Amino acid sequence: MRESKDFTEPALKTLFAGDFRIGAAVNPHTIRSQGHLLAYHFNSITAENEMKFERLHPEEEVYRFGEADELAAFARKHGMAMRGHTLVWHNQTSEWLFADGKGGTVSREALLERLESHIHKVVGRYKDDIYAWDVVNEVIADEGEELLRPSKWLEIAGPGFISAAFEFAHAADPQALLFYNDYNESHPHKRDKIYTLLKSLLEQGVPVHGVGLQAHWNVYDPSLDEVRTAIEKYASLGLQLQLTELDMSVFRFEDRRADLKAPPAELLELQAQRYEAMFRLLKEYREVISSVTFWGAADDYTWLNDFPVRGRKNWPFLFDEGHQPKAAFHRLAGLKG
């Protein structure tokens, strides 16, 4: 691995200093294994899993803050910003939250009280470390005409859980920027539904300040035009935008091939072209995009190594497995203006 003194290329955070913050998702392992890379190139972090409900609050009376605290300390030590991820989600959420302890389901009132107390505790604790929270993650249904995906939240509390979460977060830290975060955010059907949700929240006076475009993209999809239209549509609501989980898979989503041991040169070139075109586009919208966070930092560690094909390696980032800059990095370093 590279030591601090080995980093001589321009830092990403400096290259884009006039545009947006450059972030990475981290965990207690990668702040060690990728520590030098993170400190040199990035000025923002997000906890990959450590601030999710099930990790922070496994039982009603038990909070576990150790790992999340460690990540916040890493951000403080390196003068990095930190995003909070995530308060309300249908995944990675403890079962007890929805249960009444007697084999049944909790009431709507009790669920919202539990949510309020969770948000108060968590957002309050990281007030001085976290400037922006993903308050609600992925509530929009991918397919069909239904706006909201089925979930325990919806089933028990009705759609009001969404505005309640934003109200609770705003009360817990009135300074924090509050985001709605989702994937497939640039696909027209989902984009329009996300827009509809945000518009209705804003019309109700709900304290929502931004939209997180997860940006789990690949080298073929979404198209530049789709991304541009999505940015303009969300920005027309007066919200700020952040890319929150960017990665650029070298496989189409439907592609199940698992034979590649190393990324072929032509795929890396395609990836470099895509990164260059995407960042050129993002820079055009620097007035409304305040941060671009990758869902990892370098190709030695990515959740895509197991998703959607278990055990298949992927190479989605700007830095390779040895933390050396890839072709994509050099293209971004060459962007002007």
Residue with nearest beta carbon to ligand GLA? 303
Smallest separation (angstroms) from ligand GLA to the CB of 48: 7
The dihedral over CA atoms of 239, 145, 134, 120, expressed in degrees to the nearest 10, equals 110
Smallest separation (angstroms) from ligand GLA to the CB of 95: 18
| Segment 272 to 331, residues that bind ligand GLA, using CB under 6 A | 303
Active site residue 269: no
Draw the binding track, 43-82, toward ligand GLA (x: CB under 6 A; -: no contact). ----------------------------------------
Residues in binding contact with ligand GLA, number by CB under 6 A: 6
Active site residue 59: no
Query: Which is closer to ligand GLA, CB of 52 or CB of 209?
Result: 52
Smallest separation (angstroms) from ligand GLA to the CB of 322: 23
Are 162 and 116 in contact, with CB atoms under 8 Å apart? no
Query: Which is closer to ligand GLA, CB of 19 or CB of 245?
Result: 245
Smallest separation (angstroms) from ligand GLA to the CB of 25: 8
Give me the phi and psi of 87, to 5 degrees please. -90, -40
What amino acid is encoded at 231 in this protein? I
Task: Enter the DSSP assignment of 105.
Answer: B
DSSP H helical segments within the chain, as ranges? Answer: 12-15, 30-33, 35-41, 53-56, 66-77, 108-125, 152-157, 160-172, 188-203, 224-235, 265-284, 327-333
- Total length of the chain: 337
Query: Which is closer to ligand GLA, CB of 177 or CB of 304?
Result: 304
Query: Which is closer to ligand GLA, CB of 19 or CB of 244?
Result: 244
Pick from 30, 44, 137, 186 the residue near ligand GLA by CB under 6 A.
137
Q: How far is CA 195 from the centre of its chain?
A: 18
Smallest separation (angstroms) from ligand GLA to the CB of 287: 26
- Host H or E run for residue 244: strand 240-249
Pick from 27, 34, 43, 214 the residue near ligand GLA by CB under 6 A.
214
Query: Which is closer to ligand GLA, CB of 161 or CB of 183?
Result: 183
Smallest separation (angstroms) from ligand GLA to the CB of 85: 6
Cα separation, 313 vs 259, in Å, equals 9
Instruction: Label residue 7 exposed, middle or buried (CB < 10 Å: 0-12, 13-18, 19+).
Output: middle
Choose the catalytic residue: 48, 50, 138, 167: 138
User: How crowded is residue 104: how many other Cβ atoms within 10 Å of its Cβ?
Assistant: 8
Smallest separation (angstroms) from ligand GLA to the CB of 107: 28
Cα separation, 274 vs 263, in Å, equals 15
Choose the catalytic residue: 245, 254, 269, 287: 245
Pick from 16, 74, 131, 183 the residue near ligand GLA by CB under 6 A.
183
Is 245 a binding residue for ligand GLA by CB under 6 A? The answer is: yes
Draw the binding track, 152-171, toward ligand GLA (x: CB under 6 A; -: no contact). --------------------
SS3 328: helix
Is 249 a binding residue for ligand GLA by CB under 6 A? The answer is: no
- CA torsion sign, 142 to 144 to 148 to 151? negative
Are 83 and 291 in contact, with CB atoms under 8 Å apart? yes
Are 158 and 108 in contact, with CB atoms under 8 Å apart? yes
Query: Which is closer to ligand GLA, CB of 133 or CB of 183?
Result: 183
Query: Which is closer to ligand GLA, CB of 177 or CB of 272?
Result: 177
Cα separation, 278 vs 228, in Å, equals 9
- Residues tagged active-site: 138, 245
- Catalog residues that contact ligand GLA under the rule CB under 6 A: 85, 137, 183, 214, 245, 303
